[in-house]
Amino acid sequence: MGFGPFLLLALMEGLVTAAVLSLAAVGLSLVFGVMRVVNVAHGEFFMLGAVIAWFVAGLVPGPAWMAFLAALVLAPLVVGALAAAVDGLVLKRLNYDPEATIVATIGVMYMVQQAALSFYGPDARPVAAPFDWRFQLPWFGYSGYKLFVVAAAVAVLLAVWLGMTRTRAGLVMRATQVDRDVARAFGIDVERVYMGTFALGAGLAAMGAVLYVPISQAHYLMGHDPLLLSFIVVIIGGLGSLRGTLVAALVIGLSDGVISMFFSPTLAKILATLLVAMVLVFRPQGLFGAKA
Amino acid sequence: MRAWAVHLAVLAALLAAGLLLPGYHTTNLARILVLATFAAGYNLAFGYTGLLSLGHAMFFAAGMYAAALPAWHWGWPAAPALLAGTAGGALMALATGALALRTAGVSFMIVTLMFAQAFALAILYFNGWTGGDEGFVIPSASRHLFGTSLAADTPRFLAAWSLFALGLLLSLALVRSRFGRVMVALRENEERARMLGINPFAAKLKVLVISGAWSGAAGAAYALLFGYAGGSFAGIQYSILPMLYVLLGGAGTTLGAVLGAGLMFYLTEFASSVTSAWLFLVGLVLVVLVLFAPKGILGWVRARLWRELP
């Protein structure tokens, strides 16, 4: 293969990374935007989604796409319910204090990780893709499912965007985001909005994981990278900005694909983490956010 | 005066425990005291100054590698390696603090987390030099201090105890000094401290460098006493542990670090003998502490029993 096809492959891989990133990050962004809570356990919700997909694949007979659809419905529901419980039992009692909630979600992260290790085990296990179709380019063949992931990410982001801007629930969430006291004065049940947002954010992570797991494997420590990368995307894009998150996912995903292909994945991650730190230090509103 | 007496009594009790208890506990205590030194350094930043860092593993690991790499590559003896480790932690804190302290609160937490992550990844990336994830064993020639081998139980404990004692007495002197009051003032109300003529950035940077030096010394001692350095010590878990110890023992109390480290160590020991799910315990303790006892054990003592507890 010459340089051109190599670059094309790197960009395609980067596009898939960007799709996975935006799926993982959109929930984190939503939770931070509305609740001002940095959810360190977000990566574990992602991991739980993948693990549930594996369990469902074992339980549902028939073709792989049936199990896939079942997981796509079940995983967000289960993980969302768990997140709602975490919100009610822990975050609400902390009065959503930003620093205390970070420490508490670190605790939740360890508990979920350990639970997955105890009940699921230390092995990485594959989950079959819902369909098995490859298309042939002149230089290499490429998995059709990966392109499906990209399309699904676009659809999910579009749905979240429409939900936030066009529905009553989205309006209520945005009102809470802008000023929770005024929202409460207008009769909005802020605590219910918070619980719903937290569950929605976790559910989106789980859904992203169900989409992602066929091109990877389910493992109890798999939440670590999505968490880190989601942080990176959300911060570079500007905390709480959906459009920024999308742009940042594209930038980070594509550059990650190229740097990983031509240099090393570790170097790509080092550069991305340093970039985040620098963005927070010198441009806290994010590269694409409006000036605060 | 009473405070100094209490601290000296605690040190004497720890010394007696280390020398009289069977070898198994001597080794445990050595580990606890090194980790407590690390936590004490963290406590200066978090407990006294209110700098909630999620990246102290990078200071610990910087100290560890600043001591272990010269020992491994060039055969440095223990004493200069320990000094190099302390300097390594302080320099790392100076470099990252100068940037990270431009932010505050949640941003500060994430910036420190990201710097620590980049450092941990860099250790893996340069694995030809650092041994990467697998790490390396410190040559035994470098594990001698004043002619005694640090690999034996009792000398190792004594070395750990000396380091901890030095750290404890220094931190007691520090928090009771004028600068100690500045630290608490910054934690309680930064704006008011600024109006009183304190430069918050310079003061916080100074605290972070002291805290980094402490952590670096602990990291170096860990490598030299237990004979191993590896990439896992730079991981996020080693940023969480000192926070956990300090929260449990009592943030902003000089003795909280060692109390938290000791309790947590034996709690996980006990838990691992019953179940393999000790990580669950760590998470649970964190959540319970934040929810029900954000001041920790000694914080409760200070509120209820002895208001002058330093």
pLDDT in tens, B152-165: 788 888 889 999 99
Locate A165 and state its tokens. 């801007």
State how far Cα B307 lies from the chain centre. Answer: 25
Residue A163 CB-half CA count within 13 A: 13
pLDDT in tens, B79-115: 888 999 999 999 999 999 999 888 887 788 888 988 9
Rounded CA-CA distance A130/A141 in Å is 18
| CATH number assigned to the domain with residue range A14-282, chosen from the 4 options 1.20.120, 1.10.3470, 1.10.10, 3.30.70 | 1.10.3470
Contact A108 B287 (CB under 8 A): yes
Locate B22 and state its tokens. 């069977």
Instruction: Say what the pLDDT of residue A240 is.
Output: 63
pTM of the model: 0.84
CA B265, B269, B274, B280 torsion-angle sign: positive
Q: Is the pLDDT of residue B294 over 90?
A: no
Instruction: Say what the pLDDT of residue A288 is.
Output: 59
Chain A, nearest residue to B285 by Cα: A107
Higher pLDDT, A63 or A108: A108
Question: Nearest CB to A273: which of B117, B285, B286?
Answer: B117
The angle subtended at Cα B228 by Cα B226 and Cα B231, nearest 5°, is 135
Q: Measured between alpha carbons, how far is residue A110 from residues A49, A249, B284, B287 in Å?
A: 16, 27, 8, 10
Q: Assess: ipTM above 0.85.
A: no
Helices (H), chain B: 2-20, 23-43, 56-74, 78-100, 105-125, 127-130, 153-176, 178-188, 190-195, 200-226, 237-249, 256-274, 278-292, 296-304
Q: Tell me the nearest-neighbour CA distance from B122 into chain A, angstroms.
A: 7
pLDDT in tens, B40-64: 999 999 988 989 898 999 999 999 9
Q: Is residue A91 within 8 Å of residue A175, measured between CB atoms?
A: no
The three-state secondary structure class of A139 is coil
Q: Which residues of B touch A90 (CB under 8 A)?
A: 287, 291
Higher pLDDT, B265 or A45: A45
Enumerate the β-bridge partners of residue B145. Answer: B148
Q: Which residues of A touch B115 (CB under 8 A)?
A: 273-274, 277
Rounded CA-CA distance B239/A110 in Å is 14
Contact B282 A110 (CB under 8 A): yes
Chain B, nearest residue to A264 by Cα: B125
B280 contact A CB<8A: yes
Q: Measured between alpha carbons, how far is residue B83 from residues B25, B145, B148, B170, B299 in Å?
A: 28, 13, 18, 16, 33
The angle subtended at Cα B281 by Cα B278 and Cα B285, nearest 5°, is 150
B110 contact A CB<8A: yes
B52 contact A CB<8A: yes
Chain A, nearest residue to B283 by Cα: A107
Q: Tell me the nearest-neighbour CA distance from A221 into chain B, angstroms.
A: 13
A285 contact B CB<8A: no
Q: Tell me the nearest-neighbour CA distance from A55 into chain B, angstroms.
A: 21
CA A129, A130, A136, A137 torsion-angle sign: negative
Instruction: Say what the pLDDT of residue A292 is.
Output: 40
Substitution target in A264, A266, A271, A275 with the highest count of B β-carbons within 10 Å is: A266
Q: Tell me the nearest-neighbour CA distance from A256 into chain B, angstroms.
A: 15
User: Percentage of chain B surpassing pLDDT 90?
Assistant: 28
Locate B150 and state its tokens. 């640090």
Q: How many CB atoms lie within 10 A of CB B83?
A: 16
Locate B45 and state its tokens. 């930043």
Contact A110 B283 (CB under 8 A): yes
Rounded CA-CA distance B3/B35 in Å is 23
A150-175 b/e with 16+ CB inside 10 Å = b? bebbeebbeebeeebeeeeeeebbeb
Locate A246 and state its tokens. 């999308």
Residues 138-177 of A with CB under 8 A from B: none
B285 contact A CB<8A: yes
Rounded CA-CA distance B24/B153 in Å is 9
Rounded CA-CA distance A65/A128 in Å is 9
Rounded CA-CA distance A37/A49 in Å is 21
Q: Tell me the nearest-neighbour CA distance from B22 into chain A, angstroms.
A: 32
CA B160, B14, B7, B93 torsion-angle sign: positive
Q: Is residue B40 within 8 Å of residue B253, measured between CB atoms?
A: no
| Domain residue ranges of chain A, discontinuous segments joined by + | 14-282
B282 contact A CB<8A: yes
Instruction: Say what the pLDDT of residue B165 is.
Output: 93
One-letter amino acid at B176 equals: R
Chain B, nearest residue to A224 by Cα: B236
